[in-house]
Structure 1
């Protein structure tokens, strides 16, 4: 489709399909559903249907397949600095209950908070932001100014290194935006302490989305416990408070070194690091007759694209099957997937298949999703990705 533009050049004209998508509660308008493109740089633009009916305002990304991200329905309320401040204040206030038990959580979850392509995570008194579209990137200074005022933070770091930035025609970089941000920050989470690494750690420095799930399985842990794909040991630390012994299994020696450091930080002496590939180690342990009373399986995303689903399902089934075989009678398995492209339906079908192949019966004790600070909108499937299950070996 050619980039036809209205005479004014200041309004994006959205095709009927795109307008229906907005009215059904999804903010994204793809390039193929834009009839006339605004002759404006990236930022916020007014949008309307081809018949002239106003649709409000959207973030505009000239080079992205997601050309428009709807942010404001009221055509009389053009977003400005005060608008951003009010939206950020609302999102931050929603997280207030979390501060009683943790000093690290997500303040803004993009589309889930009505602020598409913007992520803000808090670690102690510093913030880490991700500005994942050209439209939101144009408002960086305004966003930073409001965050400083609203949180009183001592530093803001931009972890603008995800691949999504490249698709927007933006540089992939890690850049200090305000104050000072140390290389590591101590996170306190329901009494457990560990270090986040804002500059170079996974995601924005740590895995904040599993916080409540770590507390859940940690409170139920007992006996011999196993944390597969342990990374820095966030699950292992919670398991160790109630289990007799915890094995933190990961393929990365540097990650396991951080597990040891975190165990010392918490005064825990019952965590043992095991370096190796989880698939291979679990098979070997099963052949040796090893059994565990509590197991956590929290692997990285196996399905990073839709085309990878079949292979990912095989991987998820394999690792869960091995874990199920290792569980002692009455043992508990917490298993999760952070692959957006793997639906809840596929996830539970995979667990059913693994259970059947294990030759054992498993009771479903709990189904988990995303915590308060990672809101999943039912009209925006892309806001949800994390799904988990607590299973009991009968």
Structure 2
């Protein structure tokens, strides 16, 4: 069958690709997010065991993002050396083992160190998957595909919240281990299993996929090149990408989104407890409800964005929902329904912004430059996760409330949207990554 003949049946081809790749990557990222934020549930018990304050907890949560920041670029360089499949398999295995080790941390320093190692080991995973999706789907489909991937953390909330609550209650003190230790043990193991599976389930691109014909693989590659224009053939070095100011504009936008996303990942159980939700299991159930609303809202907004081929206003709408929620939480007081409703609105908004954000820089960057650009953006953006966790914890100790931290996050997000408007305008300078010379 020729490429022309395949063009008429593109939908079945991409549907088959999606069914092959997206569920597995979806599950991997669910596990990734569970292992990243399960500390927010473990906090309900381990503060007393390790004699930590709220500020200490904020720093412990933020240490993951410090490791993340330090190792994104080395991790993405690993993709260039050994390929995306081997990189993802290695990353998942290591972060799963580190999560298991966290269960045996017996001091504040050990806890900080292992959290740093978890961040360092998982650093390149999300950027690697974002890059990986650009190997398989043209621009017109990336919004939906990336939204499915990016809203997978909401499924982590749907499943992970009740599961974490159940583990903390069921294994409150089983044998010599406490409930929070069982939480890290039981939730670290799936990453190791998925890391082993990735070696044979994934391939580095369409040409290596035995479940595609040679003609289908060629059609996918040609379709992707057509969808992004002439820049698909351009190859820029890391230095070329690092000299482009728009890359840093995108990095700041991701910084702002990451800052707010981490508020939900780090402090939702605490906000629910302060709103009057008593037991860990009840907190988990409410977290699940918030995640369901987030997933539905983000997916519908992403489909609307793909249908209209419009990104900025959809991202802005999501961000503004989050801003409104953060500014309103102060007035929810101890009202459980009001707090849950605001967390649903804000979470749906930030996941909309996150899922659609990555469609913008990956369109601007060339195929090869995307690896370098995503690494820079993820490195600088992840600093937002560290700052949001540590500053919110410090502000909570100083003020007795998370409201100041939430309002600071709202201001950062507004600044991010302003910067996004600027970087999406046509570049003022003549030379951009789109017309850089090919590397030898």
Structure ID, larger Rg: 1
| TM-score of the pair, normalised by structure 1 | 0.27
TM-score, with length taken from structure 2? 0.25
Query: Greater share of helix residues, 1 or 2?
Result: 2
